[in-house]
Structure 1
Amino acid sequence: MSMDGLWIGQVAMAALMNVAFAFAVGSALLGAWLAKDAQTKINPARPAWLRAQRSMLTATVVLVFADLGWLLYQAASMSGVALPSAIGVVPTVLTQTHVGYAWSVAFAGALVLLGTAMASHTGTLRNALLWLAVIAIAAGKASLGHAADAGPASAAIAMQTLHVLVTGVWGGLAMAAGLSVLPALSTSTARGMLIRTATQVSNVSVVAVGLVLLTGIFNAVRGSGGSFEAIESSTWGHVLTLKLSLIALALVLGGLNRLSALPRLRRTASTMDAHTFVNVLYLEALVMIGVFVAAAVLSHSVPAFAALG
């Protein structure tokens, strides 16, 4: 692994892909939960629903461009040419390499997701396409990482695909809710909607966190070869430790909201308790951005077991 400009650019594009994908997933879930109440223009849920729609559209546009940027950096890295010259190598990467095939799956999913975000109406077909696109993106992203070393149809790919999905749900809900959607429910007339949506965010996040930990343990054991020495002695292991520390901090913040702020908000429905919940979720969202950046570095670093032979 060479930490040159190409590597840094590729990691930056991968981190942007991670954040944009999760933001789109979280916005889609929040939009679906708010859609029924937002049909009338005077409903207090409508501003939040509109924010969810705009957030999803923005995130999918960013995802598409980040995908394209990552491919260009990858082509330059694989061919050993300068970044501008890599444009001519892209067709070869797409048609003759596993990376090209996996990227094509993820990019096709991103384009479909963009189409659903731009749709002016919701319905069964649109929702089906949306979640099929999300699964395609997760599968493509999983196949771009170290899990692909085990083969295209392996337990490692399946676990990494699930890991990408549930991390996107957990982190996406935190980011979309904390940074965009829930602040639009800050008025007293929207307090009931805030409590209901906050409860949905908390309940779904609990399930997602359980699956994140399960799949994360599998990936950590696989990447380290089951050796603590490999984790302690390698760059990959150090980045993993940082990622786990950030996840632990996010769990603490999420736990504070679920066990303290949310029960108080349900009892009092006060403005102060509403602000407390949203502010803690905002901090959790910032931590999750750090988690996605660390994940991007991990996916572009030599696994611990390989680094130590």
Structure 2
Amino acid sequence: MSIDGLWIGQVAMAALMNVAFAFAVGSALLGAWLANDAKAKVAPGRAAWLRAQRSMLTASVVLVLADLGWLLYQAASMSGVALPAAFAFVPTVLTQTHVGYGWSIAFAGALVLLGTAMTAHSGMLRNALLWLAVIAIAAGKASLGHAVDAGPASAAIAMQTLHVLVTSVWAGLAITAGLAVLPALGLSTARGILIRTATQVSNVSVVAVGFVLLSGIFNAVRGSGGSFEAIGSSTWGHVLILKLSLVGLALVLGGLNRFLALPRLRRTASTMDAHTFTNVLYLEALAMIGVLVAAAALSHSVPAFAMVN
């Protein structure tokens, strides 16, 4: 692995894909939870619901563009040519490589996700398409990393798909709620909606975290070949340690909110406690963005198991 301009660009595009996908997933969940509170134009929760809708649309557009940018960098990397000349190799990458097949699935899902984000009216069909698109994106993204080395229909791909899904739920809720949606529920008239939404964010995040840790342990053991020495002596291992440190920070911040800030907010419903919860969630969102960036670098680094084989 050589860290050059192509590698940096590819990792940057992958990180943007990760953040945009998580933002879209979190926006979709928050938009669904706030839909009933936004029916009237003067409803206290309408501003937050509108932010969730706009965030989902923006994130979907960014995801589509980042997918296209990543494909161009990947074509340049696989063909060994400069970026402008990589356009000629894109059809070959798409039709003759596993990476191309996985990217096509993820990109098709991103287009469907964008279509659902542009739909004004929600319904069973729209929601079904939305979550099918999310699953397709996760499965496609899982095929773009090292898991595909075990085969397109393997336990590694299934576990990585699960890891991408649950990480996007946890990160997406923290990022969307902390940076965009919950600040719009700062008025005292929306305090009840804030408390209910914060509780939903916390409860779903706990479930997602459990699956993140389980799937993450599987991926870490597989990627390291079960060797702590390989982790300590490889770039992949160093990036993994950074990612785990950021995950630990996010867990601490999430724990502070769940066990201290949220119970106090339920008791007092005060503006100060509402600000405390949203401020801590804001910091958790920043930590999760760091996790997604580290995950992008990890997927584009030579796994540690290659050093012990």
TM-score range, shorter chain: over 0.9
Q: Is the 8 A contact 1:30 1:49 kept in 2?
A: yes
1:211 match: 211
Q: Is the 8 A contact 1:112 1:129 kept in 2?
A: yes
Deviation at 1:307, TM superposition (A): 3.0
2:233 match: 233
Q: Is the 8 A contact 2:243 2:295 kept in 1?
A: yes
Deviation at 1:228, TM superposition (A): 0.6
What are the residue-to-residue correspondences of 1:18-167 with 2, within 5 Å?
18-167=18-167
Q: Secondary structure at the match of 1:44?
A: coil
Q: Does 1:254 align with 2:258?
A: no
**RMSD (Å), alpha carbons:** 0.5
Distance 2:101 2:143 in 1: 9
Distance 2:37 2:44 in 1: 8
Distance 1:196 1:79 in 2: 52
Q: Is the 8 A contact 2:109 2:137 kept in 1?
A: yes
Distance 1:41 1:267 in 2: 29
Please identify runs of 4+ aligned residues in structure 1 that moved more than 4 A: none
Q: Is the 8 A contact 1:246 1:291 kept in 2?
A: yes
Distance 1:21 1:137 in 2: 8
Q: Is the 8 A contact 1:22 1:168 kept in 2?
A: yes
1:199 match: 199
- Name the aligned partner's letter for residue 161 of structure 2: T
Q: Is the 8 A contact 1:170 1:209 kept in 2?
A: yes
What are the residue-to-residue correspondences of 1:257-268 with 2, within 5 Å?
257-268=257-268
Distance 1:307 1:34 in 2: 49
Distance 1:83 1:232 in 2: 33
Q: Secondary structure at the match of 1:37?
A: helix
Distance 1:116 1:33 in 2: 17
Distance 2:81 2:290 in 1: 31
Distance 1:204 1:24 in 2: 16
- Name the aligned partner's letter for residue 306 of structure 1: A
Query: Structure 2-normalised TM-score?
Result: 0.99
Q: Is the 8 A contact 1:234 1:308 kept in 2?
A: no
Deviations 1:77-102 (A, max 9, x none): 00011100101110111111111110
- Name the aligned partner's letter for residue 228 of structure 1: F
Q: Secondary structure at the match of 1:89?
A: helix
Distance 2:150 2:75 in 1: 22
Deviation at 1:64, TM superposition (A): 0.3
Distance 1:56 1:20 in 2: 9
Distance 2:82 2:145 in 1: 23
Q: Is the 8 A contact 1:173 1:201 kept in 2?
A: yes
- Name the aligned partner's letter for residue 17 of structure 1: M
Distance 2:238 2:96 in 1: 34
Deviation at 1:36, TM superposition (A): 1.2
Query: Structure 1-normalised TM-score?
Result: 0.99
Q: Secondary structure at the match of 1:35?
A: helix
Structure 2 residues not aligned, in runs of 5+? none
Distance 2:35 2:105 in 1: 29
2:8 match: 8
Distance 1:143 1:285 in 2: 26
2:270 match: 270
Q: Secondary structure at the match of 1:144?
A: coil
